[in-house]
């Protein structure tokens, strides 16, 4: 369906707010609810959205023609209950996004890690070239509300979430798969189940479409092999990127330049140089995937490479929050062991000789239960790590699963890991630990991001509540 008066439960979330913004821009009568006020909620209200704070059946307007939810919304939510009582259609956010993409040339960006960054790079570069794309991203580019846009151009770039299999709803012209790993353990019992899910996603690529994969990542490379041998998809073009010999977009060199990198790529016999304004090899790989995806839609890779210089990062992806007393505070969304290790390596490479202090908040009991040891081993690469209690998000506690799993693993690997049970204690602890020239990373997918400004205030000698 094409909603004209959609009601979004949890409208302030990263994914939901972007959809609400696009629907509002297209002229729909948008309403919604969220747990608290935020800059994102304010930005949506400025577009005309009617938003209630707190979840209550009274938030659902009489003229709503559907209710949009994410997998995080529980069945007993009062607005969802009211919608069912009124016989209103209930759409998953993926269905709402699929409706927005209909009729556009869609690029869907998937992978266990790197989706938000790569989607953002495409959005920025295509916009810089004047192509006026539409896009829906899982993070803000610059300010609240910048995670989505309704453009007049024919291209729609979207982040494709595998966590709940909702990316099976899309039928893009181009699909990017950056990597494939076991994660989201509440929904996937094994790596084979993850591969099956990604294969389903790829099977929905439009006839004559393109699959872009990172050949350096074992999971995405295996996915490409599985897809190549599948009967009935001979029409699908598979384009590889990476440092591996034989990659069609082969990365010849990555040269760190502080908090950026200079990357040299060889593609179809042509050498292309580009600047990536975030540090780390994984971000360089993401940038090269954008070149391949854009080229699949007819955008010259060399032009995209120049336009990529406009990309300066996205919120929570190694985002510099500020400097105080000679100490830089950087925010990282990393919450999976691979992401933790990659961001720590990027920071080490870009700021050689600096001490790295991490404030880590584990995300989800199920993830910690399955990957806590690997998280600890990755955190051992920091000079010191303060480990907070687990951020539960949508999950109930699991007996015996605590942050101690991570702390013990980090210590066993030779790291300095310390438990902190109260977030309010973190700014003072960091102020005591940090010295001039250090880098502090607030790391995790939960509310640890809010600590950055408080740490900066405490470093500067400003008392905070």
User: Phi/psi of residue 388, each to 5°?
Assistant: -85, 170
Which residue has better confidence, 411 or 316? 411
Domain-located, residue 464: no
Given pLDDT bands bounded at 50, 70 and 90, which one contains residue 394?
confident
C-alpha to C-alpha distance for 71 and 166, rounded to whole angstroms: 9
Tell whether 193 and 127 lie within a shared domain: yes
Which among 65, 91, 117 is the end of a domain? 91
Domain-located, residue 294: yes
Neighbouring CB atoms inside 10 A of 204's CB total 15
Q: What percent of the chain has pLDDT over 70?
A: 97
C-alpha to C-alpha distance for 265 and 404, rounded to whole angstroms: 43
Which residue has better confidence, 252 or 393? 252
Which among 251, 280, 310 is the end of a domain? 310
Which residue has better confidence, 410 or 232? 410
The one catalytic residue among 79, 118, 159, 454? 159
Neighbouring CB atoms inside 10 A of 320's CB total 13
Domain-located, residue 1: no
Tell whether 86 and 122 lie within a shared domain: no
Reply yes or no on whether 321 is catalytic: no
What does the pLDDT look like over 213-261, one tens digit per residue? 999 999 999 999 999 988 667 789 999 999 999 999 999 999 988 778 9
Tell whether 289 and 208 lie within a shared domain: yes
Q: Are 372 and 405 in contact (CB under 8 A)?
A: yes
Query: How many domains is the chain built from?
Result: 3
Tell whether 20 and 153 lie within a shared domain: no
Tell whether 234 and 114 lie within a shared domain: yes
CATH code assigned at 287: 3.40.1190.10
Given pLDDT bands bounded at 50, 70 and 90, which one contains residue 143?
low
Tell whether 159 and 267 lie within a shared domain: yes
pLDDT, position 229:
85
CATH code assigned at 355: 3.90.190.20
Tell whether 335 and 377 lie within a shared domain: yes
Reply yes or no on whether 116 is catalytic: yes
Reply yes or no on whether the pLDDT at 137 is more than 60: yes
Tell whether 232 and 293 lie within a shared domain: yes
Tell whether 165 and 288 lie within a shared domain: yes
Q: Which domain holds residue 59?
A: 6-91
Which among 292, 310, 328 is the end of a domain? 310
Reply yes or no on whether the pLDDT at 350 is more than 80: no
Tell whether 301 and 220 lie within a shared domain: yes
Q: What is the mean pLDDT of residues 95-110?
A: 96
Q: Are 87 and 60 in contact (CB under 8 A)?
A: no
Domain-located, residue 465: no
Domain-located, residue 72: yes
Domain-located, residue 96: no
Pairing of strands 31-34, 6-9: parallel
Domain-located, residue 97: no
Domain-located, residue 402: yes
Reply yes or no on whether 436 is catalytic: no
Given pLDDT bands bounded at 50, 70 and 90, which one contains residue 1?
low
Reply yes or no on whether the pLDDT at 346 is more than 90: no
The one catalytic residue among 21, 79, 112, 115? 115
pLDDT, position 185:
84
The one catalytic residue among 40, 112, 116, 117? 116
Question: pTM value?
Answer: 0.80
pLDDT, position 367:
93
Burial of 275 (0-12, 13-18, 19+ CB in 10 A): middle
pLDDT, position 464:
53
pLDDT, position 14:
81
pLDDT, position 51:
97
Reply yes or no on whether the pLDDT at 465 is more than 60: no
Strands of the sheet containing 6-9, edge to edge, are 50-53, 31-34, 6-9, 66-69, 90-92
What does the pLDDT look like over 448-460, one tens digit per residue? 999 999 999 999 9
Tell whether 199 and 306 lie within a shared domain: yes
What does the pLDDT look like over 29-85, one tens digit per residue? 999 999 999 988 999 999 999 999 999 999 999 999 999 999 889 999 999 999 999
CATH code assigned at 37: 3.40.50.720
Pairing of strands 327-332, 317-324: antiparallel
Tell whether 85 and 141 lie within a shared domain: no
Q: Which two tokens stand for residue 384?
A: 């010191």
What does the pLDDT look like over 154-200, one tens digit per residue? 999 999 999 889 999 999 999 999 999 988 888 899 999 999 999 99
Q: What percent of the chain has pLDDT over 90?
A: 79
């Amino acid at each position: 369906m094409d909603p004209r008066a959609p009601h979004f439960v949890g409208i302030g979330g990263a994914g939901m707010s972007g959809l609400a913004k696009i629907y509002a821009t297209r002229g729909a009568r948008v309403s919604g609810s969220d747990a608290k006020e935020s800059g994102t909620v304010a930005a949506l209200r400025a577009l005309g959205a009617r938003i209630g704070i707190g979840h209550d059946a009274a938030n659902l307007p009489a003229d709503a023609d559907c209710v949009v939810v994410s997998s995080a919304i529980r069945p007993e939510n009062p607005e969802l209950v009211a919608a069912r009582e009124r016989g209103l259609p209930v759409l998953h956010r993926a269905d709402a996004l699929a409706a927005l993409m209909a009729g556009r040339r869609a690029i869907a960006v998937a992978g266990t890690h790197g989706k938000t960054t790569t989607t953002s790079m495409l959005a920025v570069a295509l916009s810089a070239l004047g192509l006026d794309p539409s896009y829906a991203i899982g993070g803000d580019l610059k300010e609240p509300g910048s995670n989505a846009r309704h453009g007049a151009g024919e291209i729609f770039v979207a982040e494709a979430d595998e966590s709940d299999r909702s990316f099976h709803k899309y039928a893009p012209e181009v699909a990017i798969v950056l990597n494939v790993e076991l994660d989201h353990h509440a929904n996937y019992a094994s790596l084979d189940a993850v591969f099956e899910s990604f294969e389903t996603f790829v099977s929905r690529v439009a006839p004559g479409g393109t699959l872009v994969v990172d050949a350096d990542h074992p999971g995405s490379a295996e996915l490409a092999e599985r897809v190549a041998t599948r009967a009935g998809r001979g029409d699908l073009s598979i384009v590889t990127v990476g440092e591996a010999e034989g990659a069609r977009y082969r990365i010849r060199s990555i040269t760190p330049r502080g908090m950026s990198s200079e990357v040299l790529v060889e593609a179809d016999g042509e050498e292309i140089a580009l600047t990536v304004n975030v540090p780390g090899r994984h971000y360089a790989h993401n940038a090269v995937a954008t070149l391949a995806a854009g080229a699949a839609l007819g955008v010259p890779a060399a032009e995209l490479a120049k336009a990529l210089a406009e990309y300066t990062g996205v919120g929570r992806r190694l985002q510099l929050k500020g400097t105080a007393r000679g100490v830089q505070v950087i925010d990282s969304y990393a919450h999976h062991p691979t992401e933790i290790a990659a961001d720590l390596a990027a920071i080490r490479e870009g700021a050689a000789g600096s001490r790295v202090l991490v404030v880590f908040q584990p995300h989800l009991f199920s993830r910690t239960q399955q990957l806590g040891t690997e998280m600890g081993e990755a955190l051992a690469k920091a000079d010191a790590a303060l480990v907070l209690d687990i951020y539960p998000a949508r999950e109930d506690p699991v007996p015996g699963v605590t942050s101690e799993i991570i702390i013990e693993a980090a210590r066993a690997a030779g790291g300095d890991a310390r438990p902190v049970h109260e977030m309010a204690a973190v700014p003072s602890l960091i102020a005591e630990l940090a010295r001039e020239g250090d880098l502090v990373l607030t790391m995790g997918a939960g509310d640890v991001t809010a600590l950055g400004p408080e740490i900066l205030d405490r470093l500067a000698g400003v008392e905070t509540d």
